[in-house]
Structure 1
Amino acid sequence: MAAPSSGNLRPVRPQVAGDDASSQALSEALGSSLLLVRLLAVILAAAFVFSCVFTVNPSEVAVVLRFGKPVGEGADQIRKQGLHWALPYPIDEIVRIPTGESKTIRTTRAWYAVTAEEEAGGITPQGGPQLTPGVDGHVITSDGNILHVRATLRYKITQPVDYAFRFANATNLLRSCLDNSIHWASGRFTADSALYKDRIAFRDAIRRHAVTLVDRLGLGVGIDTLDVEVAAPLYVKTYFDQVIAAEQDRSKRINEAQGEFDRVTREAVGEAQRTRATGQSLSNSLVQAVSADALFFSQQREDYRKNPALFRERLRIAAIGRILTNAQDKFFQPASIGEIRMNLSREPETPRKADPNAR
């Protein structure tokens, strides 16, 4: 190693041979590459971990399929709201099932043919002279008539595993159950009952049968609401409308008559109660008056028995006192005068006004 010169204080690097320099560069390069590989491995491991974590929203549940089969048993198969872990695809597959929202299906297989424009505008198509089989859907009622029926069903998923994995298409099966229920109920109601007389009972019969089929098949859904529309065939709709209008007018008049009957009945009952109350009051007053008179006469009877003449004179004096008290003019006839003359047509006396200055 060369000694440093007296005029330069910086250290002098040792001289390295050419092979040693190449080995050192290769070692440094390998060290850097190994560091990058380690860093890349950490990043990949972190990405793998994060890819295995998934989130379930409040309005849904999830089922993890491992090689096509649900992971877990019973209630453990359901992943509810929160963070969960699963292996990356294709080992695990995450199936999300919406359970918090209401789903809707509509069946029109028993409804007459209508275009999308007519349906959107609420326009009833013009009916032909007869029903067109294969085009116009229909049902047959218990009395052999033809009606058109369509229904809208709203439901929620209650058993996610059964709904998602037990059937290839649970929605189509549910629609078939609804169609079956419509035909089943139609065969048990007359046309008049299903169309206007007992529409609520007809709808409830469809709902009950649909619930029975859903439970029997284990579709894993719960029915919320059911809306049913019933219409007469278009080629006789005018006559049905006239019958319905007549029935409504009949019901209106019956209700009006019933209301008038109730009003008159209430008034008659009230008048009868008032009459009975008045009669009872008068009866009580009369009984009290008769009882008082009977008590008075019972008390006077002893006095009459003691001295009848004195009793009669006392009564006469009392009667004269009442008469003289109420009479305006009083005339006294002496016993010696046998005739009295009175002017009965004289002018009535004007009452005198009191003098305000009089003391």
Structure 2
Amino acid sequence: MSEQPQQPRKGPPGATRLRLTPAAPVEDAGSQALSEALRSSFFLVKIAMVLLALYFCCSNFKFVSEQERAVVLRFGRPVGEGEAALAGPGLLMAFPYPIDEVVSLPAAQILSAASSVGWYMEDPRTTAAGAAVPPRPTLNPVQDGYTLTGDGNIIHVKATLRYRVIEPIKFYFNFTNSAELVTNALNNALYHASARFTVDDALRRNLAGLQEKVAARTEELLREQDLGAQVQQVDLVTAPPRQVKEAFDQVTAAENQRSELINEAEGYANNILSRAKGEAEARRNRGLADRTRLVTEVEAEARYFKELLPSYNQGPELFARRLQAETLGRVMTNAQEKFFLPARADGQPREVRLQLSREAQKPKAALETPKPAGHSH
């Protein structure tokens, strides 16, 4: 603080007035340091306020990943309609809360729902331990779930549904609990589909058909409710009532044995038929080969006789003698001994005597003894 200048005192009249020069203000060192500290503090406070303002303005900026989409709610309502309200991957800028609120939604994520309305009551501790729940004497409708088949039988069914959200705005903002609605649709589909199958088809013969029917019914209900979800897969587990499971097992064993016997008989029949077909084909091929050979031989003989016909027509007797001579020539070519018996002039038969088991004749060259060289007789 600076000192106030001293005012000159008034003297008696006629006295000479002395004017005092005012002293220069002297600032206290502590006050100056405090002033500088306050100025620095005010500067830091201003910077902090600016940073806080920037942080507040950017507090609702969000980076959206590839696996998600985002929706900006302005005063509780989505900004935009339909697909335009969904923000894709990248930086999303929105006004600070509570003006805007950014809600992240999973993209292309497969969700699941489970239904056990048709399954019997299980003890979670026993099930977790992997032990079978002992059946009660009778089915208790208050505790045990079940479905009715088309032929009036009771079965137990539980299902697991996998679905995908294709319209997030409808699914997440048009309903309070969309996941519960999906589960309700699955429950309805189980009752609806079970009533259209027989007990044998639902348990053994056509479980795949039952699964397809449940999936189709669930998809139909989701479209009717306009949930914005699409069914991907349905897995079913079916079981007969535990009180009569042994009887069902016996029927199943009998059907399996029947199927094995039928398959064995069909295999045997197929084997016999294959062998018979093979043998028939072989015989047919042999018959075709024999027919071809016989036809070829007959055609060759026919051509041969056609070639001989002109010679026969010119002279039958001469032709017969010539043909006989040619035949004898071919026959006698390889014969070592030849006997010719002309017919007798009187036409009487001749007597022929054959010496059997006689010694073989030696070659003439072996019978001749070579003469010694240098001797003459």
The answer, yes or no, to whether TM exceeds 0.5 is yes
Structure whose CA Rg is larger: 2
On the 8 A contact 2:60/2:100 being kept in 1, the answer is no
Q: Write the deviation string for residues 325-359 of structure 1: whole angstroms up to 9, x where unpaired.
A: 34454344577994433333458899xxxxxxxxx
| CA–CA distance in structure 1, aligned partners of residues 350 and 128 of structure 2 | 117
Deviations 1:169-188, CA, capped at 9 Å, x for gaps: 11111111111111001111
Residue 290 of structure 2 is matched in structure 1 by 282
Structure-2 change in CA distance of 1:283 and 1:148 (3 Å)? same
Residue 70 of structure 1, CA deviation: 0.9
Q: Which residue of 2 aligns with 1:318?
A: 326
1:181 and 2:189 aligned:
yes
Given residue 128 of structure 2, which amino acid in structure 1 is its aligned partner? A
What is the deviation of 1:207?
1.0
1:212 aligns with 2:220: yes
Name the structure 2 match of 1:3. Answer: none
Residues matched between the structures, number:
336
**1:194–1:202: 8 Å Cα contact kept in structure 2?**
yes
Other-structure match for 1:166: 174
1:109 paired residue among 93, 104, 117: 117
Q: Is the 8 A contact 1:103 1:156 kept in 2?
A: yes
Instruction: Answer yes or no: is the 8 Å Cα contact 1:111–1:137 preserved in 2.
Output: yes
Structure 2 CA distance for aligned equivalents of residues 189 and 349 of structure 1: 102
Following the alignment from structure 1 to structure 2, what is the Cα–Cα distance between the partners of residues 185 and 153?
Answer: 15
Does the 8 Å contact 2:82/2:169 carry over to 1? no
Partner of residue 246, structure 2: 238
Letter in 1 for 2:199: A
1:258-296 deviation line (CA, Å, top 9, x unaligned): 333333333333433333333223222222221221122
Q: d(CA) in 2 for partners of 1:283 and 1:217?
A: 78
Q: From the superposition, tell whether residues 236 and 259 of structure 1 become closer, same or farther in structure 2 (CA, over 3 Å).
A: same
- The answer for the alignment partner of 2:352 in structure 1 is 340
2:33 and 2:221 map into 1 onto residues whose CA distance is: 79
User: Comparing 44-53 with 195-204, which one deviates more in the overlay?
Assistant: 44-53
1:138 Cα deviation (Å)? 0.4
Structure 1 unaligned residues grouped into runs of 5+: 1-14, 351-359
Counterpart of 2:18 in structure 1 is none
Counterpart amino acid of 1:252?
E
CA contact (8 A) 1:149 1:229 kept: yes
RMSD: 2.7
Q: Of residues 36, 44, 51 in structure 2, which corresponds to 1:43?
A: 51
Give the match's secondary structure for 1:89: coil
Equivalent residue in structure 2 for 1:252, among 244, 250, 260 = 260
Q: Does 2:271 align with 1:263?
A: yes
User: Given that residues 127 and 234 in structure 1 are in contact (C-alpha distance below 8 angstroms), is that contact kept between their aligned partners in structure 2?
Assistant: yes
- The structural deviation recorded for 1:192 is 0.9
Q: How do 1:1-359 and structure 2 match up within 5 A? A: 16-18=24-26, 28=36, 31-327=39-335, 329-333=337-341, 338-345=350-357
Q: Return the TM-score normalized by structure 2.
A: 0.80
In structure 1, how many angstroms separate the alpha carbons of the residues matched to 2:359 and 2:219? Answer: 102
For the 8 Å contact 2:149–2:198, the answer to whether it is kept is yes
Q: Distance in 1 between matches of 2:214 and 2:240?
A: 18
